[in-house]
Structure 1
Amino acid sequence: MAILVTGGLGYIGSHTVVELLNNGFDVVIVDDLSNSERFILKNIEEITGKKPVFYPFDLKRKELLNQVFEAHQIDGCINFAAYKAVGESQEKPIDYYENNLFSLINILQEFKARDISNFIFSSSCTVYGQADVMPIDENTPLKMPESVYGKTKQMGEEILIDFAKAYQRKISLLRYFNPIGAHPTAKIGELPVGVPYNLVPYVMQTAAGVREKLNIWGNDYPTVDGTAVRDYIYVVDLAKAHVAALKRLMEMEPEKTVIDTYNLGTGKGSSVLEVVKAFERANNVEIPYQICERREGDITIAYANADKAERELNWKSETSLEDALKTTWEWQKYLDSRN
């Protein structure tokens, strides 16, 4: 069975490709390399002993996407192709709307024309905005997200729900919290372009001396230490959830409307300062930091109730925060060895 993985050389995408290959799926990757590099493809092959098919182009190019579907019998899609930085999305809103939504619509046009089902969407906890109650479960009311990035994820979900209902298709919306870490081989991991917007890559680069200090955006939140709280989930655990969700859809009868929604997280919130201290303990390094003004688009606290995923997908997060942060540091050392 061939699974199309868009953004498959990116951070979460590459880890999911590894899990798909290890589970016997054939994989076709489309990635424009805007947030990844070609060496990841080689490293995926080294990890798995299998080489996925790779097409390096932008999904907004409909004619090239059509050629992929002509060349392969696609049985499903896991869509990671999206710009993903909360802060950047506030600065470049039109770029985010164009990239994140037009690419999704182009894939769905091919699914519609060829009567394909089984679509996994890389969504985000940002669709909940600042939830009123913790932990957040799938019944938590959606709010207008604080960031343009979050808005594109919420709109993407709405597009997919309408698609599934209109054409009797099977979809799974995976709302995950904050992915961290790298593969235990240290051969794939997060590759932020420029200055990282996410916490852990910034911590990693500060520890490596790439950045002079870590910027902590606000210490006046109503939390345990004044810094924002998030649910940090190990990326390999997260990748395994995508495979479990895909298998569930494929086991269901065809020509049936299925709209599954799952929160993917650890169920535990950690503050920014708690993550910094955990990184220091896990890797025996010191992280210099400075407190800055709050960043537009950030919320105060978010952590998951992932009980539904455990019940229906037989999945749960298994890796501790410190163990995940150890893999991050090994990945940074691997990157340093390449330079």
Structure 2
Amino acid sequence: DDEAFVVDFRPHANMNTAHMLLFGCNMPSSTEDYWDCSAGTCTDKSSIMYAWAKNAPPTKLPKGVGFRVGGRSGSKYFVLQVHYGDVKAFQDKHKDCSGVTVRITQEKQPLIAGIYLLMSVDTVIPPGENEVNSDIACAYNKHTMYPFAYRVHTHQLLALDPMNNIVIFHRGDHVWDENSFDRNFVYQQRGIGPIQESTILVVDPNSSKVIKSIGQNLFYLPHGLTIDKDGSYWVTDVALHQVFKLGGGKRTPLLVLGKKVNPGSDQKHFCQPTDVAVDPITGNIVSDGYCNSRIMQFSPNGMFITQWGDDDDASDSEEEYSAPP
């Protein structure tokens, strides 16, 4: 309950952790040790205190600067949100130990730290563009601010095929915003139709020319892209709640998992699936998803094998994972 100050952060992340966000608040969204972050981090006003990203330089607070915690005006709880970059990490059903060590002192700091989060939700990167500007700004008329660090973050929708060509999976002019889904995660913008342009582009890394394009009129909100050893594309669409396999020179999908625009949590449904890991021996691993918190395993031809994570009758494990990527 006494006022204190956070003056240092030490991240502890494994190779599969993409990024972590540490929030401060007075009322966490759950009293459990961990939970699905679709339920939110906090029920009251929260503030980001620390952000870590894979391969990014460390963030160090300047001397004499700290985040105020405890007391009458500081945060009472820390909530850590962890995002993962590869669902293969959970094939053996292990538990992750990523985290952040926080150093706290009761010595009053001359300057109080804070973070401003600026986010663009409607920036579109057109195919073939080498540079795209996304201007974000806000009005500030409070005490003098002394910036000392910044972070940028975006989601990756590209991969390399067996020929080392760059493969891009993009959303065209479709945007995922607060109006995209209802409270039951049903997509609300089907009236605009699927993305009319090719959503999968294969680019020669030397010439930057598009050498192949597919995926017209198939997808609404592309999300994950994985390429197997044969060069087939495994992609997810969070609006359709489906997983697709494309390739073999065909314009139509070779395999479709999930029910179109129909979220669910049984063996035949997904809820905003995020990514696929392809393994020729153990089968395909699907991270499902933003509104489910489970990992599902399927045979190469799409037959359900098992799942773990969510508390479900079909699951053979009591483990539950927070927001598979």
**TM-score, normalising length from structure 2?**
0.31
Q: For the pair shown, which has the larger CA radius of gyration, 1 or 2?
A: 2
Give 1 or 2: higher strand fraction: 2
Give 1 or 2: higher helix fraction: 1
Bigger RCO (CA 8 Å, 6+ sep): 1
